[in-house]
Chain A
Amino acid sequence: MSTRASTLTGRIMSAPSIIVLFLWMAVPLGMTIYFSFLRYNLLSPGMEEWIGTLNYEFFLTDPAFFASLANTLLLVGSVLIITVVGGILLGLMLDQPIFGRGILRLLVIAPFFIMPTVNALVWKNLLMDPVSGMFAWIASLFGLPAIDWFTNAPLTSIIIMVSWQWLPFAVLILLTALQSLDRDQKEAAQMDGAGPVSIFFYITLPHLSRAITVVVLIETIFLLTVFAEIFVTTGGGPGLATTNIAFLVYTQALLQFDVGGASAGGIVAVVLANIVAIFLIRLIGKNLDN
């Protein structure tokens, strides 16, 4: 693949897919940007007109925007902390030669294969339901009152569900990284007089830094757009307690039929996601170098 002819052939042959991919991205983005400058409500068809940045002003000054921004960051941050810390601990456990390790690994990975809507329904109806849920039953065993999760701790409930869904991913990546840790290094540290805790902080954790970076970056991308779990359980409520940016855009477009406002919200979400991405890459992305 080094002659001029073969390079040219390569470019020509790959051009169609690249062009399609580019259009796939650019057309919806372009249309969304265009819509975001229109008064465009499905309840009054044919009344579309150019209103400049009014949609943005309206969206960004909406108190719901700040509430949902805070919820988004809280959700992403909490799930990241829970999955990374939990992932390291579970990874360390599954890295030990314990009885039934193969089956245990399979069980730990399993939640990742369950689709978010089903996940949310299982948690809502089987586990967290204050009347027939398992948590209520466990509480009753101790003579405690049942907790009405989605009323009293709505965002916490969402965080628990999403963490459960994403923990396997973190475990999977971190376990692979743990398995690639050179045994000699641990033994050298042992000879140097380091105990298990020192070995963890001085040898294991630095070794995991790159894997942790990957987990944080990939999870952030998906967690910024959590939707199914909220839609199935709380519907964004009570009030705005569990509305994140993605869900807010959805309510604008499909509950208030305001396509223009929803488009502006979508663009804001894209910009926010990029800010987070730049921030993350600056902060931890340098781990991926070398």
Chain B
Amino acid sequence: MGAIRLEKVKKTFGTLDVIPGVDLDINDGEFVVFVGPSGCGKSTLLRLIAGLEDVTDGKILINGTDVANEAPAKRGLSMVFQSYALYPHMTVYNNIAFGLKMAGESKDVIDEKVQSAAKILNLTDYLERRPGALSGGQRQRVAIGRAIVRNPAAFLFDEPLSNLDAALRVNMRLEITGLHQELKTTMIYVTHDQVEAMTMADKIVVLQAGRVEQVGKPMDLYSNPANKFVAGFIGSPKMNFLGGDIAAKHDCHEIGVRPEHLAVSTDGGEIAATVKIAEHLGAETYLHVEADGLGPMTVRATGEVDLGENDRIFLTPEQDRIHRFDQHGLTLSGA
């Protein structure tokens, strides 16, 4: 059981308001991802929940009890650090067992729990090794094992995949998602990578400058971003923002069109553009173009497209996929 509720959680370092006041509800068993650019306060928010930083003001409720002034260990949470933070002089077994040992569990209970965690994470053959003798992915798994055995109310992940190479990252992403489905424990996951957020989350919390910009399911954020920041942050390649005449035509300050919602034609269309760079990925092609009077845009075309530098093309946005923003960057309803 791990329902977490933040009420007006505030954090200031000196005169700097890192988190001006966050309200958030995390349901039991949910996989929540905090995402935002670096320095947006997402790690600080996680550390506040963990108890590694003191809150300046506000309440942190875990299953209904305020733990804002409790020691980290008393909150029943466990955390996986970006650097893994394994204890280098202990074997994998002792690393995983450390929390249980501190909790004063008997040797038999510790052994049973460590063995079962090792089995879940495929670490059984490595239990007698030291962290120094493991690969990056294995260390990551040990860190997760250390978190699992304590049977926490919720797992906290602080950018756990950023030290891994691209291929391993995809694997670990799947493993963590699988683990969540198996354990059904609440997980809070911090990342700056919107791909991780989109693929893993039940619920995404987009943060900027310590403020929650939007909370929602991945596809909700993708389809109905609340403002220009969320629209630009979620989705890859980034959304194109167009002002001027074309925005006026849609009766707003600026419109946003995702690269995948632009139809490409060589004969005619709404926007005329010149191709600058074409990135051929096989399954899709990214065209970086210079639109006449609108500036640079990105277009995502499916399949192989026979276009190259200086080709003239025409782009037509899908009308019901156009996002409209007012001068403050807020989304205007209705297309």
Contacts and interface: CB of A to CB of B under 8 A. Distances in A.
B73 A185 contact: no
A193 B70 CA distance: 12
A192 B75 CA distance: 11
B132 A193 contact: no
Interface in B7-35: none
A290 B132 contact: yes
A194 B90 CA distance: 15
Interface stretch (A63-71, A202-210, A265-273): A202-210
Contact of A203 (B73, B84, B87, B132): B87
A191 B102 contact: no
A203 B82 CA distance: 18
A193 B72 CA distance: 7
Given A182-B83, A203-B87, A190 B52 contact: yes
Interface in A193-220: 193-194, 198, 202-203, 206-207, 209
A209 B89 CA distance: 10
The secondary structure that dominates the B interface is loop
B77 interface: yes
A191 B98 contact: no
A190 B72 contact: yes
Contacts of A191: 50, 52, 72-73, 77-79, 99
B146 A192 contact: yes
Nearest to B156: A191
Contacts of A209: 89
B98 A189 contact: yes
B139 interface: no
B83 to A, nearest CB: 5
- A interface, size bucket: 10 to 19
Contacts of B102: 192-194, 198
- Among B77, B85, B99, residue most surrounded by chain A Cβ atoms (within 10 Å): B85
Interface in B267-293: none
A192 B99 contact: yes
Contacts of B52: 187, 190-191
A289 to B, nearest CB: 12
Contacts of A194: 73, 98, 102
B103 interface: yes
A184 B132 contact: no
Contacts of B71: 190
Interface string B51-87: 0100000000000000000011100011101111111
Interface of A: 182, 184-185, 187-194, 198, 202-203, 206-207, 209, 290
Nearest 9 interchain pairs by C-beta: A193-B73, A184-B85, A192-B99, A188-B85, A206-B89, A193-B102, A184-B81, A184-B83, A194-B102
Given A185-B87, A191-B73, A192-B150, 14 more contacts: A182-B85, A185-B85, A187-B52, A187-B72, A187-B79, A187-B81, A191-B52, A192-B73, A192-B78, A192-B99, A192-B102, A194-B73, A206-B90, A290-B132
